[in-house]
Structure 1
Amino acid sequence: MNEWIVQIMTSLNYVGIGLLMFLENLFPPIPSELIMPLAGFTIAQGKMEFFPALFAGVLGTMLGALPWYYVGKLVGEENIKRLADKYGKWISISRKDIEKADQWFHRHGEKAVFFGRLVPGVRTLISLPAGISNMKLVPFLIYSTIGTTIWVWLLTFAGYKLGENYELVDEYLAPVSKIVFIVLVVALVFWLVQKRRQKQRQRKV
């Protein structure tokens, strides 16, 4: 897959970045953890500019997020899960993946779209529960764009700094993403505890 990513980016330049990030959001097995670091390495070689590459990555991601959003909005949760059981193996999406993304959305509300864009394994599919829950398009685009911009910038900058070793981004990101996930869960638990205490205080009053 690495060679395929390199060929597309080399031949299509910024359009290649946008296309690859678009496909990455449609088909999770295509890793942004390799696409944008490679773009960063290419920038370090002087063959691309940083901000056009960043823009292409964000634009491709956002365009790729919209199909999943509208699938969730039009098809509905149960139908999507049934389709995942039947055809999900072809694009590496399972019922469990959908349920995980759905739980994220319901726990964090609209902010889940922002946080979800920063967590591998959730970021691609967070559009589904947003659509299922009929989240308005404008807030969806705003939260998604902010989260996506941060994610794409981090990956591109990491690839720029690592140079020829840009592939290490994918290797190092796996444990880091777990830490981020744990921190977010801890923060969520703390928030829920605080909310419960507030409700108890209100009842006593």
Structure 2
Amino acid sequence: MEGILHALEQASPFWAYVILFISAIIENIFPPLPGDTVILVGAYLVGQGLLSFWGVYISTTLGSVVGFMGIYGLAYWVERKIIEKYQPRWITRTHIDQVENWFRKYGYGVILLNRFLSGVRSVISLVAGLSKMKPLAVFSLSLISCAIWNGVLIYLGSIVGKNWGKIIELLKVYNRVVLLVVILAIVIWLLYRFIRKRTMKKISRSNQ
């Protein structure tokens, strides 16, 4: 992160916004990139008076939406079997099944909360496309989600100044908690499916 901070400090505001925009796009496509941390670096520079709040906010929010809609669009227009064949290693069949289950339960609400669910954002956009969810609704809800999440991060990062590292630590804790909740939900769901299958088999045998 120190290298990114130095690069943004040395760059002109225009190129700093471009870097933030591209980072926000890549974070959706390649989750291992710490996209939220890059946003906080931009927020720190806002606090230092090197970048404007609205410049960082608009560039990161647009980047987040473009990245999300890019995966959604690809999954929407390309055949499912092709997507599943070439899907990234960090997106497993279990992840897809779990997110599909969320969509069945909560519908478009999952899109609205996607930015708050670190670690599964790309899976949500992928499944939304595979499920052929309405483009305008997906775009609108993803924009709202990105606008709220990025706004909160940038505001907090800009007011704490040099203590922005504390927010990164809190963000790491938050991401771990979210990841644990997601893993727990997947385990419970798999256990439920296993028990249900065994129960159905027993019922089927008893009826024979």
TM-score band by shorter chain is 0.7 to 0.9
Partner Cα distance (1:6, 1:95) in 2: 36
Q: 1:155/1:181 Cα in 2 relative to 1: closer, same or farther (>3 Å)?
A: farther
Matching of residue 49 in structure 1 with residue 48 in structure 2: no
Amino acid at match of 1:36: I
Cα deviations by residue, 1:5-56 (Å, 9 ceiling, x for unpaired): 3355342211221111011111111122211111111001000111121011
Aligned counterpart in structure 1 of residue 35 of structure 2, from 32, 36, 40: 32
Unaligned stretches of 5+ in structure 2? 186-208
Q: Could you say which residue in structure 1 is the equivalent of 2:191? A: none
Deviations 1:51-104 (A, max 9, x none): 1210111101111112210222133445433323xxx24xx4333333343333
TM-score, normalisation: structure 1? 0.75
Corresponding position of 1:126: 124
Using the TM superposition, name which of 10-19 and 93-102 deviates more.
93-102
Q: Return the alpha-carbon distance in structure 2 between the equivalents of residues 180 and 160 of structure 1.
A: 26
- Contact 1:23 1:64 (8 Å CA) reproduced: yes
Query: 1:172 matched to which residue of 2?
Result: 170
Name the count of aligned residue pairs.
Answer: 177
Residue 118 of structure 2 contacts residue 179 of structure 2 at CA under 8 Å; is this kept in 1? Answer: no
Q: What CA distance in whole angstroms lies between the structure 2 residues aligned with 1:166 and 1:79? A: 42
CA contact (8 A) 1:65 1:127 kept: yes
Seen in structure 2, the aligned counterparts of structure 1 residues 110 and 53 have a Cα distance that, compared at 3 Å, is same
Q: 1:104 and 1:78, CA in 2 relative to 1: closer, same or farther beyond 3 A?
A: farther
1:102 aligns with 2:90: no
Residues 1:94 and 1:73: Cα distance change in structure 2 (over 3 Å): same
- 1:126-160, Cα deviation, whole Å (9 max, x unpaired): 11111111111111111000011011011112211
Instruction: Please provide the CA RMSD for this pair.
Output: 2.4
Task: Indicate the structure (1 or 2) with the bigger Cα radius of gyration.
Answer: 2
CA contact (8 A) 1:104 1:112 kept: yes
Contact kept, 8 Å, 1:24 with 1:64, in 2: the verdict is yes
- What does residue 203 of structure 1 align with? none
Cα distance in 2 between the residues matched to 1:127 and 1:118: 13
TM-score after normalising by structure 2: 0.74
Q: Relative to structure 1, is the Cα distance of residues 72 and 133 closer, same or farther in structure 2, using a 3 angstrom cutoff?
A: same
User: Are residue 65 (structure 1) and residue 68 (structure 2) matched?
Assistant: yes
Quick check: 2:118–2:178 contact (8 Å CA) kept in 1?
A: no
C-alpha contact (below 8 Å) 1:33/1:169 kept by paired residues: no
Match in the other structure for 1:191: none
